[in-house]
Amino acid sequence: MRKFYNMRVPLFVLASLLFGLKTYFVYRFVFNLSIENPMQDFILLINPIASAYLIFALSVWMKSKHQMVYLRWTALVGTLILYFNLIFYRNFTDFITIPVLFQGNNAADLGGSLLTLVHLEDLLLFVDVVAVWYLSKKVPSLATDFQKAGKIATTAVIFLLMTVNVVLAEMERPMLFVRAFDREYLVKNIGIFNYHVYDATMHTKSKAQRVLADGSEISEIENYMRENTESDETSDMFGEAEGKNVIFVSIESFQNFLLDSQVNGKEITPFLNDFKEDEDTMWFKNFYHQTAQGKTSDSEFLIENSLYPLDRGAVYFTHGQNEYNALPEILGENNYYSSVYHANNKSFWNRDVMYDNLGYDKFFSEPAYEQTPDNSFGWGLEDKAFFEQSIKYLQSQGQPFYSKFITLTHHFPFELPEEKANIDKYDSGSNTLNNSIQTARYTDESLKQFIQQLKDAGLYEDSVLVLMGDHYGISDYHNKAMSKFLNKDEITGYDHVQLQRVPFMIHIPDSGEGQTFEKPVGQIDVKPTLLHLLGIEDKNDLTFGTDMFTSDRKDFVAFRDGGFVSNDYIFNKEKCFDRETGEELQKEKAEACQPIKEKVDQELKYSDTLIYGDLFRFYNFDHGEEQPVKKQTNETSTQ
């Protein structure tokens, strides 16, 4: 050890290497970032070392005593940033953004969910921090005392390493910063710490967009919508549910792989299996969720506005006071009473602000329900009690009404008392997947009871029932267990996209319109579809969705990361697959995805422009024309 000390390796160099190698290990084996070639692996190795050197090498400009203090705290803070991203990644398979940090009050309601994401072996991430603290206190000779030339040379190495990192990243992924829909690509190529700097820059830029917007962009976006999303036909389903109530159930974290599946010979979703085949049920077999970091709130935003969520944070938080032309508002103009039922804190996802802005008349939140230790677990009130207690409020509403129900039981970490479980847990290496089978069955039972309660209350016959899974429940982090459940060798990029299919069923009692639709559709299409069924024409509405029943609908479903599903192809992380066979297409054949990819990128960009600029404040939805430009202020809407 004494010989090592005499080598006089500066502590900032040692700290950089330890921290960089630790971060590489997390990238490679905990985040499990995909590596396709040796160059990608080299970039993945060099970028955390370069980032660590950038931060730790600044200490050479400080006095010896201050150097050691700086290195100790920098090692700790850097590790905490890495660890918080790791916790976030385990749940969402994504990385933290600045808008997500503003949603921090949501964490207060997570309860035991966070504990399931903390592992004992995580302590290993702090080994280098302990080493730096020990050496900085016990071996003061590891501090540097460079002359000015030495300090400049050390700083020059910073710029050299960062330049090499950026050049290699651009060689591997051209236009990385221009087409940054996928945060994994950013982290993989420039590192998580540089990614956070980039994220902060983008956040500042997005805030400036509203201040500088003048509404001139609307004409271009409107023309795009008229050419690509507006249908020239009216299907036979127009007005099929005219004047009926709409009861919309958002089923928490429900994916299609649960349907028609069994565990130990027992159906996971016996009710939904039958319901989708009912003669009055229209089941969209290839319906995809399109949410991003806002999860359930993103799914709500999609169905209410037919706009895409943002790729960073949740629109419900960051732009909750924008002008919108939402589904509840349009229905209100057509004499519908609108309400939301959700037994959670009213401020979660900023719902109390956003619902009022979207035009909802009433929000039945946590205080409207009687919660006891017997009927509450996991995230709160169990689904059976939730539906049962909601009926009396539903009966008291004026008709016709549009009422949305948001369930809770099938929510990560999928907690359910054993005495309430009517199916065995699955047996895999993932407790998350294992437990989710029981909560899925419980929610399935609650939906069956709810429909019977609607019949008993006399509300069933005059209502359209819409059942929709809001987003995925099992993330990529559990791919190994999922491959076992699906009896596959591995989860490919094609499989990943297919796992984003969620239940979507429209049930019109006594209609006889039941059938299974194979066409790919998504949450962005829900708003125009419901308006179409209710016989409400809104020609001046600006939406990116298309009525699901028309034959001339647009030919792709876009995802927030730039991927898509079309009639013939699936595109995920720069790979093009044949939609029917799942085969990855090579070279010339893969080029067939590019024209659609360009449309997807354009559509996402237009949607972002509308939201960041709050452009609907310039648009007259009654006449379908741009309003006179208003005087700008520096006020922004960041709830």
Active site amino acids: 296
The owner of tokens 């003048």 is: 214
Element spanning 620, H or E: strand 619-620
C-alpha–C-alpha distance, residues 94 and 109, integer Å: 20
Strands of the sheet with 556-558, listed across from one edge: 556-558, 564-566, 569-572, 575-578
Half-sphere exposure of 618 (CA within 13 A, CB side): 21
β-pair partners for 517: 284
CB 334 within 8 A of CB 303: no
| All residues at 6 or more sequence positions from 593 whose CB lies less than 8 Å from its CB, including other chains | 569, 571, 576, 585
Element spanning 190, H or E: helix 183-190
CA angle 542, 547, 549 (to 5 degrees): 170
The alpha-helical segments, DSSP class H, found in 261-408 are: 270-275, 295-305, 315-318, 327-332, 351-358, 383-396
Cis link prior to 400 (omega < 30° from 0)?
yes
Beta strands in 442-517 (DSSP E): 463-469, 504-507, 515-517
CB 495 within 8 A of CB 262: no
Nearest to 467 by CA among 240, 152, 246, 214: 246
| All residues at 6 or more sequence positions from 252 whose CB lies less than 8 Å from its CB, including other chains | 296, 406, 407, 408, 409, 410, 411, 443, 470, 473
In 3-state terms, what secondary structure has residue 463? Answer: strand
CB 229 within 8 A of CB 545: yes
In 3-state terms, what secondary structure has residue 262? Answer: strand
Cis link prior to 413 (omega < 30° from 0)?
yes
Phi, psi of 211 (to 5 degrees): -65, -40
Enter the tokens of residue 589. 């054949």
Phi, psi of 171 (to 5 degrees): -65, -40
CA angle 545, 550, 304 (to 5 degrees): 30
| All residues at 6 or more sequence positions from 49 whose CB lies less than 8 Å from its CB, including other chains | 16, 17, 20, 21, 24, 161
Q: Are strands 569-572 and 564-566 parallel, antiparallel or unpaired?
A: antiparallel
